Amino acid sequence: MTDIQASMDVLPGLDPRAPLLQINDLHVEFRTRDGVAKAVNGASFRLSPGETLAILGESGCGKSVTAQAIMGILESPPGHITRGEVRYRGVDLLKLPEHERRKVRANKIAMIFQDALSALNPVYTVGFQLAELFRAHRGMSRADAKNRAIGLLDQVRIPAARARINDYPHQFSGGMRQRVMIAMALALDPEVLIADEPTTALDVTVQAQIMSLLAELQRQRNMGLILITHDMGVVADVADRISVMYAGRVIEEAPVYDIYARPAHPYTRALLESIPRLDLKGHQLTAIRGLPPVLTDIPSGCAFNPRCRYAKDPCLQDPPPPAYAIAPHRTARCHFFREVLGE
In contact, 239 and 214? CB cutoff 8 Å: no
Question: Which stretch in 5-13, 24-32, 78-86, 120-128 sits in contact with another protein by CB under 8 A?
Answer: 120-128
226 binds another protein (CB under 8 A): no
Q: What's CA 263's distance to the chain center, in Å?
A: 21
Q: Determine, following the binding rule CB under 8 A, whether residue 111 of this chain makes contact with another protein.
A: yes
The only residue of 8, 14, 36, 136 in contact with another protein, by rule CB under 8 A: 136
The phi and psi torsions of 129 (rounded to 5 degrees) equal -70, -30
Q: What is the nearest approach in angstroms of another protein to the Cβ of residue 154? A: 20
Looking at beta carbons only, is 163 or 327 nearer to another protein? 163
Q: State which of residues 119, 192, 235, 245 lies at the interface with another protein (CB under 8 A).
A: 119
Residue 71 engages another protein in binding (rule: CB under 8 A): yes
Starting at the edge strand that comes first in sequence, how are the strands of the sheet with 79-88 ordered? 35-47, 21-32, 79-88, 91-92
Of 133, 228, 251, 340, which lies in the binding site for another protein, with binding defined by CB under 8 A?
Answer: 133
Contacting another protein (CB under 8 A), which of 18, 46, 50, 168? 168
Q: Find the binder of another protein among 30, 88, 113, 304 (CB under 8 A).
A: 113
Q: Binding of another protein at residue 100 (CB under 8 A)?
A: no
One of 102, 138, 230, 262 touching another protein (CB under 8 A): 102
Using CB under 8 A as the binding rule, whether residue 11 contacts another protein is answered as: no
Using CB under 8 A, which residues numbered 287 to 306 contact another protein? Answer: none
At residue 29, φ and ψ (nearest 5 deg) are: -130, 155
Tell me if 57 sits within 8 A of 246, measured CB to CB: yes
Report in angstroms how near the CB of residue 75 gets to another protein at its nearest.
8
Binding mask 182-201 for another protein (x = CB under 8 A): --x-----------------
In sequence order, the β-bridge partners of residue 245 are 250
The verdict on whether omega for the bond into residue 263 sits within 30 degrees of 0, i.e. cis, is: no
We find the least distance from the C-beta atom of residue 136 to another protein, in angstroms, to be 6
Residues in the interface with another protein (CB under 8 A) total: 28
List all residues 6 or more positions away from 109 whose beta carbon is below 8 Å from its beta carbon. Answer: 21, 70, 71, 88, 190, 191, 192, 193, 194
Task: Provide, rounded to whole angstroms, the least separation between the CB of residue 105 and another protein.
Answer: 4
For another protein, the closer CB: 133 or 238: 133
Query: Among residues 120, 161, 165, 193, which is the contact residue for another protein, using CB under 8 A?
Result: 120
- Tell me: does residue 149 bind another protein (CB under 8 A): no
Under a CB-based contact definition with an 8 Å cutoff, are residues 178 and 164 in contact? no
Peptide bond into 78 cis (omega under 30): yes
**Under the criterion CB under 8 A, does residue 123 sit at the interface with another protein?**
yes
Closest separation in Å from C-beta 129 to another protein: 8
Cross-strand bridge partners of residue 327:
330
Is there binding between residue 103 and another protein (CB under 8 A)? Answer: yes
Does the footprint of another protein cover residue 132 (CB under 8 A)? yes
Cβ atoms of residues 337 and 325 within 8 Å: no
Q: How far apart are CA 56 and CA 250, in angstroms?
A: 9
CA-wise closest residue to 132 among 149, 118, 150, 108: 149
Report if residue 6 touches another protein, rule: CB under 8 A. Answer: no
Phi-psi region of 27 (alpha: psi -120 to 50; beta: other; left: phi over 0): beta
> What is the β-pairing status of strands 224-229 and 241-246?
unpaired
**Interaction site with another protein (CB under 8 A):** 68, 71, 73, 102-107, 110-111, 113, 115, 118-125, 132-133, 136-137, 168, 170, 184
